[in-house]
């Protein structure tokens, strides 16, 4: 078997950090490996408040050609996030959505038959006033069917954040590392509490 998973590293103390499994993907990798996906839900207390920052670190299903597994996982995730927001918490969902968060036209020569995994994020599925944060202009993921060649390998933006209406985006930036270390680029963002109207 293969051991893998997500982690969160923080200078701030959490009151809890819980792994929340999603419904398993029915497909197998190469017909032998079962894929399990989920979220790491971390709570960061706010001094003098009963509310907290609730951060969901996620990785949705990959290579789900029809997109069914991703849609089910997204629905489960948004139900959890809406519940936390209803409690007055400040909600961030961060990670690899395995869906294009925004349209791009990065040059590539990848055969479209190799891009069956690529699908678009359903923005209409978001609750009212929830928003997506991603940096435009720098890809966050590359195709893995060949070695990476700039301008030839397919790239897209699938890594980023979804945040609740009581959160304000200060900045978001993708760190272009030439895909030297991974098939993804790191995405950095700053958020703050949105003042009440």
Cα angle 186, 61, 171; round to 5: 30
Q: What are the pLDDT digits (tens) for 40-87?
A: 999 999 999 999 999 999 998 877 666 788 888 999 999 999 999 999
Place of tokens 């050609």: 65
The predicted model scores a pTM of 0.91
Q: What are the pLDDT digits (tens) for 156-174?
A: 999 999 999 999 999 999 9
Q: What is the DSSP letter of 35?
A: P
């Amino acid at each position: 078997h293969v051991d893998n998973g997500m982690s969160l590293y923080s200078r701030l103390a959490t009151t809890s950090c819980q792994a929340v499994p999603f419904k398993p993907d029915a497909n197998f990798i190469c017909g032998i490996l079962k894929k399990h996906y989920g979220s790491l839900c971390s709570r960061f207390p706010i001094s003098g408040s009963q509310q907290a920052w609730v951060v969901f670190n996620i990785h949705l299903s990959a290579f789900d050609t029809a997109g069914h597994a991703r849609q089910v996982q997204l629905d489960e995730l948004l139900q959890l996030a809406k519940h936390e927001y209803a409690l007055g918490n400040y909600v961030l969902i961060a990670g690899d959505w395995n869906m294009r968060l925004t349209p791009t036209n990065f040059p590539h020569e990848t055969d479209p038959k190799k891009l069956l995994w690529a699908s678009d994020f359903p923005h209409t599925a978001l609750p009212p006033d929830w928003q997506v944060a991603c940096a435009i202009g720098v890809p966050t993921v590359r195709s893995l069917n060949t070695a990476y060649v700039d301008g030839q390998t397919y790239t897209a933006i699938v890594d980023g954040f979804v945040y609740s209406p009581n959160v304000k985006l200060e900045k978001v930036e993708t760190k272009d590392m030439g895909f030297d270390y991974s098939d993804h680029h790191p995405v950095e963002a700053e958020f703050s509490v949105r003042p009440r109207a």
